């Protein structure tokens, strides 16, 4: 028998090759499957990316469309507002022109129509000043158009009269003017160069006259003679003393003596005096304090010394033991 030799067994060799081939095939298969899975995954991702991009594009498109629509609506709204504003402005000016035309026509009619010519001028509440004087001062004339005068001018004209304190002027359409006057009332006289200067309780000088009209005469005033002019007012010092005079006269009235007072001397503010004409008595009051009590003493002394001419002294301090007394004229 021939002897076996060592070397490569063809059978085993073929088997190994087959195994390697199968293993290689399996690797390739796995590789293909892996590549397939990778490709499928990429495909899915690409599809998802495409969908995302598509949604984004759609959303952006929609937003752009919405934005354009909104801008268009705003543009239309803005144009509409401008149109309405323009129409409103036109209507306003049309109304304004119509109103101006109506007013102008009314003014023209009022200033030219004889219906509004003054036919009556009525003065009310005047006592001292005659109505004719007030009408003359006003500058108003019958036949004048009722709209062609300025009330302020009429008031100032009438107030040139010292007796006039205030004036109101009213148009009573179509042709009447009413003048309402508040007068100052003469209450006292100021001794003035042998005459009498009438004044009211506010110290306004109203008139210079030879007749006292039975009003008390104030003596000792410090207002200069050059300032004693109707329409002027007493100086500050005399105005202060006039307030005390009013208090004194109110006290005499309470005592029933006011009708007898003919003169009041204010030359010394610490020594006021009054003269009771019927009793022929001068009363020395001192200052203007404690007047009510002082007048009670005056009243009692007048009753006691009735018919006697002389002086009553009540110018001391009643609270410190001063006793009023009467000194008969010798």
Q: 159-173: per-residue pLDDT in tens?
A: 999 999 999 999 999
The secondary structure element, H or E, covering residue 173 is: none
Q: How far apart are CA 277 and CA 150, in angstroms?
A: 51
End-to-end CA distance of the chain: 214
Cis peptide before 174 (omega within 30 of 0): yes
On whether the 188-328 domain is CATH 3.40.50.11690, my answer is: yes
Contact yes or no for 176/119 (Cβ under 8 A): yes
Closest CA to 258 of 315, 215, 290: 215
For residues 39-64, one letter each, b for 16 or more C-beta atoms within 10 angstroms of the residue's C-beta and e for the rest, the string is: eeeeeeeeeeeeeeeeeeeeeeeeee
The CA distance from 260 to 187, in Å, is: 15
Average pLDDT over residues 114-131: 94
CATH number for the domain running over 117-183: 3.10.20.310
- Rounded to 5 degrees, φ, ψ at 3 are -85, 140
Residue 49 is predicted with a pLDDT of 55
* Residue ranges of domains in the chain: 18-112, 117-183, 188-328
Task: Tell me if 215 sits within 8 A of 186, measured CB to CB.
Answer: yes
Contact partners, residue 268, CB within 8 Å, separation at least 6: 220
Name 70's Cβ contacts closer than 8 Å, sequence gap at least 6. Answer: none
pTM of the model: 0.68
Min mean pLDDT across 21-25, 28-32, 54-58 is at 54-58
Confidence of residue 18 (pLDDT cuts 50, 70, 90): low
């Amino acid at each position: 028998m021939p002897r076996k030799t060592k070397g490569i067994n063809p059978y085993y060799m073929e088997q190994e090759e087959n195994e390697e081939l199968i293993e290689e095939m399996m690797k390739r298969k796995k590789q293909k499957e892996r590549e397939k899975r990778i490709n499928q995954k990429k495909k899915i991702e690409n599809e998802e990316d495409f969908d995302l991009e598509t949604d984004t594009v759609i959303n952006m498109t929609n937003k752009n469309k919405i934005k354009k629509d909104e801008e268009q609506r705003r543009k239309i709204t803005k144009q509409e507002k401008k149109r309405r504003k323009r129409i409103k402005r036109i209507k306003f000016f049309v109304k304004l022109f119509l109103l101006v035309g109506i007013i102008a026509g009314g003014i023209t009619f009022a200033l030219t129509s004889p219906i509004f010519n003054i036919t009556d001028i009525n003065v009310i509440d005047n006592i001292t000043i005659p109505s004719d004087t007030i009408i003359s001062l006003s500058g108003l004339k019958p036949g004048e158009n009722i709209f062609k005068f300025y009330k302020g001018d009429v008031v100032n004209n009438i107030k040139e009269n010292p007796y006039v304190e205030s004036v109101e002027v009213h148009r009573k359409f179509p042709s009447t003017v009413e003048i309402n006057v508040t007068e100052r009332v003469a209450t006292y006289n100021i001794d003035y160069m042998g005459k009498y200067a009438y004044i009211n309780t506010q110290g306004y000088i109203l008139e210079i006259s030879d007749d006292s009209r039975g009003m008390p005469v104030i003596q000792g005033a410090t207002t200069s003679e050059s300032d004693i002019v109707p329409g002027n007012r007493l100086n500050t010092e005399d105005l202060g003393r006039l307030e005390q005079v009013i208090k004194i006269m109110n006290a005499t009235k309470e005592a029933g003596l006011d009708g007898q007072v003919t003169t009041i001397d204010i030359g010394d503010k610490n020594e006021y005096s009054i003269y009771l004409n019927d009793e022929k008595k001068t009363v020395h009051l001192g200052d203007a304090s404690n007047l009510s009590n002082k007048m009670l003493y005056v009243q009692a002394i007048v009753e006691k010394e009735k018919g006697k001419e002389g002086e009553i002294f009540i110018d001391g301090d009643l609270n410190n033991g001063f006793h009023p007394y009467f000194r008969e004229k010798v």
